[in-house]
Structures are given as C-alpha cells and as structure tokens.
Amino acid sequence: MTVIEPSRKDILSHNRTKKYSATLRLWHWGNALIICGSLITVLINSTLLDRANVTPLIQNELNKDGVTATAQQAGNIGHALNDSVWEVHKWFGYVLAGLLLFRLILEFFQLADQKFIRKIKAAYHQFNQTKTNRQIARHEMVVKTIYACFYLLLTIMALTGLFLAFEDLMAPYKAIRHSVKEVHNFCMYLILAFIVVHLAGVFLAERKDSAGITSDMINGGNQ
C-alpha cells in the first residue's frame, strides 16, 4: 500500500496563519450590523416619527375611523411610538458597548502580529524609517490612524450612550446631560463619515493593489 506523504508546500499552506482571526471577523460583522441597526432607529425617529410629520398623519388616520383627536393627543401617540423606537436604540447601544468591551479583551488574546496596537506601532515605525515606498508607508499610517480614531469614537459613543440610558442613576450629573447628548449626537455624524470613508477605501483597494480584502474579512485570508 502506497502512502502519499504531504508535500512541504501543503504543510505550510495548512499551517498558514489567518490574516484575520475568526473572533475578530465575528466582531467586525457583528459591530457593522449593530451600528447599522442603531443608525436606522435614529433615521426612523428623525423622519417617519418626527413630531411634525407623524402628528397630522395620526390625526388623519383616526378621523377616518370617526375618532376626533386634537393635535396634542395625536402628538402624544407619536411620542409614544418615538419612545418605543428609542428603546430599541438603547438595546442596540447595550450590545455595541458589549462588543466594544469584547474587542478590548480580544486584543489581549490575539496573535502578536494581529494585535491592533502592534500594527499601529509597525506602521509608525515603517513611516519614520523607510526611505523607499514612502507613499505606501504614509498610506498605511493614515489608515491605521483612522481606525484608531474610529475605536476612540466608539468608546465615546458607548460611554455617552450609557450615561443617557441610565439617566436616573446619573441624576447628580443632570446639569451636563444636554452636553453629553450633544457629544453623543456629534459622534454619530463622525461615525457616519467613517463608514463612508471606509466603504470608499475598501472599494478603491479592491480595484487596485488589495484585491480580495473583503473576502479576507469573511474567510480570514492568509498571512
């Protein structure tokens, strides 16, 4: 009986480390879904359930059923619907905070060359030391800096969101609630900007020198 020994190439291929670990990919796509869901709730409340839009709509629908409602009554119904959507928004926020905590813990268990901190240090070192391919080093440094800013934004969003969600417990700090809400809302616009930049960057990378980057975030890719 002939035994076929695996070739050295097959062994190396089998043992090749994934570029992105399964847990990191799970966090990435889970985080994307939660952020999208959270933004959708904001969109619904700022458009469909906006008081100016929903009040006359509710009045008209009630009138069709022979029920006469004042603008105040219709507005109260709209406000209740608005609050229901915000409850969903809160739960998205809780999951987002949990995912952020998971990402921070995951950083300690990642392989050395997959740690985000190490990647930032490597990009910074390459940018300062390299004399050739300066443009590539600069691009890598900019990308890593943008991701670092994104993580910072997520942290601010999570902390300010939890502050607003537990406003009863934060009653002693009620004076700063409005400021915290303003910061929370402003960070939302910055995250929207990041999403646009991120999608544009992935699209351009797929068309240029990083084809397969989306596939790598799905199947892990190879180092």
Question: Residue 194 is inside which H or E element, if any?
Answer: helix 177-207
The pLDDT of residue 131 is 62
Q: Give the integer Cα–Cα distance in Å for 223 and 13.
A: 10
| Selection from 187, 190, 150, 184 nearest residue 164 by Cα | 184
**In the structure, what pLDDT confidence band is assigned to residue 223 with cuts at 50, 70 and 90?**
low
Give the least confident one: 41-55, 62-76, 151-165, 187-201: 62-76
Inter-CA distances, 216 with 99, 110, 205, 220, Å: 21, 17, 12, 5
156 versus 204: the higher-pLDDT residue is 156
**In the structure, what pLDDT confidence band is assigned to residue 196 with cuts at 50, 70 and 90?**
very high
**Which of helix, strand or coil describes residue 88?**
helix
pLDDT digits (tens, 9 = 90+) for 112-151: 767 777 777 777 777 777 666 667 777 778 888 889 999 9
Residue 52 sits at φ, ψ, to 5 deg, of -65, -30
Q: Give the integer Cα–Cα distance in Å for 57 and 75.
A: 10
Q: Give the integer Cα–Cα distance in Å for 114 and 108.
A: 10
| Selection from 102, 108, 98 nearest residue 25 by Cα | 102
Whether the pLDDT of residue 2 is over 70: the answer is: no
Q: Give the integer Cα–Cα distance in Å for 85 and 97.
A: 19
pLDDT digits (tens, 9 = 90+) for 43-65: 999 998 888 888 888 888 888 88
Question: Residue 24 is inside which H or E element, if any?
Answer: helix 22-46
Q: How is residue 70 written in tokens?
A: 């004042």
Whether the pLDDT of residue 39 is over 50: the answer is: yes
Whether the pLDDT of residue 4 is over 50: the answer is: no
Domain ranges of the chain: 21-110, 111-218
The pLDDT of residue 150 is 93
